[in-house]
Chains A and B, each alone.
Chain A
Amino acid sequence: MNIDRPTELRRLAQTLHRKPEELGHLGSLDGASLMSLRTLVQNALLEEFAGLFEKLAASGKLAPDALSALLCRKVFGASITANMSYYVPADRAVRMCKHFDEHFMADIAREQIPERAQDQLKNLPVDLMRGVTRQMLASRDFHIMGGFTDYLPEEKAMVLMEEIADPADSLRISSFAQRKDRIARLTVKMDDEQIKRLIAAAFTQTEFIQEVGLVTAEMDTKNQQRMARLSDAVDMAHRPRARELAQGNGQLSRLQAFFAA
């Protein structure tokens, strides 16, 4: 996996409750090192209370799902529920989720570490995730959505993308996702009009152009050529602008088919 440094810096900054520009002292670390550091920080924070959450999860294992879910909603709250969820078998966690509303599920998701919630993401029905997606879009929790995108099964991600009305929001989410190859596979499944709207939105901001560049760089020759054709259809000035940026950030060689088309 090609680890994009700015993406990882944004994610680490969120974990440390800092802004990316406040982490200048980590300037010598590459994307992979920042990712290792973020994972260590997240695990250390979780480990501090691991014993407590494990005990809490174990104490409720004989209770019916509906009662456990009620206790989670009315007593424990989203933060404790999210931390307990790592110690609850995925099938039981999914059954309990069916008793939660989308607001509570979104609150839980905001507290979770996506890497640790992979089993739940795999087993949770996509219809339950739709409401969570809408909640997160409304609260502009793009950093959380990006983190989950890395671990969400692709067929579910494809369905949930239908909830994103503003293409700029797709780009904001993508900017927090490390797996640009997955975003690329989801993007190529879009129809031409959807991609043209995405390109039009991207060329409103330099960061978005770079994001589309990172995603396009993960596409094969045929799809890079398709992106080039659609980009020209939106505005012939877009590819020269993208080339300038790609030259500056070292992406030019990975976008050869896009610029040669």
Chain B
Amino acid sequence: MADNNDKLARLLRTQPAKLDFLKGLSEAERQKLAADIEGARQAHSKHIRGAMEEALNHLPWLLRAPVKKLFGL
């Protein structure tokens, strides 16, 4: 139970103690929730990275690498 709380806290970028409102969930339910959040995170990440790639395509290719570096991409 503690491990899953830690995993959820990591995914939600918060402290495990702040997830007390989830204490009614069983371990299996926490695992499913963690998978839901991870799925949403991956979809969001793919969406944002895709949008950034598209934006960078508007720049001359020589500038793309330094701009990527500048913004930590």
A contact set with B: CB distance below 8 Å: 15-18, 23, 25-26, 28-29, 32-33, 36-37, 40-41, 43-45, 47-49, 51-52, 55-56, 74-77, 79-80, 83
Main secondary structure of the interface of B (DSSP, over half): helix
- Cβ contacts under 8 Å, B33 to chain A: 25-26, 37
Q: Which residues of A contact B13 (CB under 8 A)?
A: 43-44, 47-48
Q: Can you list 24 A-B pairs, Cβ within 8 angstroms, ordered by A?
A: A16-B37, A16-B39, A17-B43, A18-B36, A26-B25, A26-B29, A28-B24, A28-B25, A33-B22, A33-B24, A44-B11, A44-B37, A44-B41, A48-B45, A49-B48, A51-B72, A52-B52, A52-B71, A55-B70, A55-B72, A77-B51, A79-B47, A79-B48, A80-B55
B71 x A25 contact (CB < 8 A): no
How many residues on B have C-beta within 8 angstroms of the other chain's C-beta atoms?
A: 31
A17 to B36, CA, bound (A): 8
Residues of B within 8 A of A (CB): 11-14, 21-22, 24-25, 28-29, 32-33, 36-37, 39-41, 43-45, 47-48, 51-52, 54-55, 58, 70-73
Q: Is the CB of A29 within 8 A of B71?
A: no
Pick the residue among B39, B55, B71 that contacts A75 (CB under 8 A). B55
B25: contacting residue among A25, A49, A55, A75, CB under 8 A: A25
Q: Using Cβ atoms and an 8 Å threshold, which residues of chain A touch B32?
A: 25
What residues of A have a CB within 8 angstroms of the CB of B54 in the complex? Answer: 77
Contact of A37 with B22 in the complex, beta carbons under 8 Å: yes
Min CB gap B53→A, angstroms: 11
Residue of A nearest to B70 (CB): A55
Interface pair A55/B12, CB less than 8 Å apart: no
Q: Which of A16, A40, A45, A83 contacts B14 (CB 8 A)?
A: A40
A17 to B44, CA, bound (A): 10
Given contacts A26-B25, A44-B11, A48-B45, contact A80 B73 (CB under 8 A): no
- CB-CB under 8 A from A41, the residues of chain B are 12, 37, 40
Interchain CA distance A15-B12 in the complex, whole Å:
13
